[in-house]
Amino acid sequence: MTATVRKIVAQPLTAAVFAPFGQVIDTAQASSRPMNAGMARRFHDLAEIEVIGDGARVVVGLVEAQPYAMPLWLNLVERHPLGAQAFVPLNAAPFLVVVCPDEAGKPGAPQAFVTAPHQGICYARNIWHSVLTPFGAAQDFVVIDRSGPGVNLEEHVFDEPWIVHLPTCH
């Protein structure tokens, strides 16, 4: 039996279109304040990392991610029911973000976005999303998420794959 391929074309990531899934981490629309005697600018409170559960805490880590071939064959999404998860790139390269609305406990039709230079994302708690997906070259990220007791990972494998294409501008 041949699987049906369902196509998605990624769109540019904006705070408005991503709002149902979390927050865009971007200094372009944020105000800053000076610090270190005016030698630095601080962009404060760009995303909220919600965590729940006894013993839960927010942790910061680094991820070294290998690039994915495009178009992306999307077979698997995941969600984290006990905490939000943020990814902040350490360079200006864009990356692919795929999210799904929840439909009665299962992921609905995916939506795909391409970040602008230096944009990061914060998936809200319990949002279905694909794995971290750089393209073109390896990329490093700061990851901010939950640590502590409890099961904070749920995976879903699609019966039929989705194929995600980059917009023609990439």
Rounded mean pLDDT of 134-146?
Answer: 96
Single pTM value for the model: 0.90
Share of the chain above pLDDT 90, in %: 87
- The residue among 146, 7, 160, 167 whose CA lies nearest residue 81 is 146
Burial of 106 (0-12, 13-18, 19+ CB in 10 A): exposed
* DSSP structure class, residue 4: P
Q: What is the pLDDT of residue 3?
A: 62
Dump pLDDT digits (tens) for 150-167: 999 999 999 999 999 999
Q: In which residue are the tokens 């013993």 written? A: 55
Task: Report the SS3 class of residue 17.
Answer: helix
What's the CA gap between 164 and 44, in Å, rounded? 33
Q: Which structural domains are found in the chain, ordered by start? A: 6-165 (2.60.120.480)
Rounded mean pLDDT of 80-94?
Answer: 96
Q: What are φ and ψ of residue 74, in 5° steps?
A: -95, 110
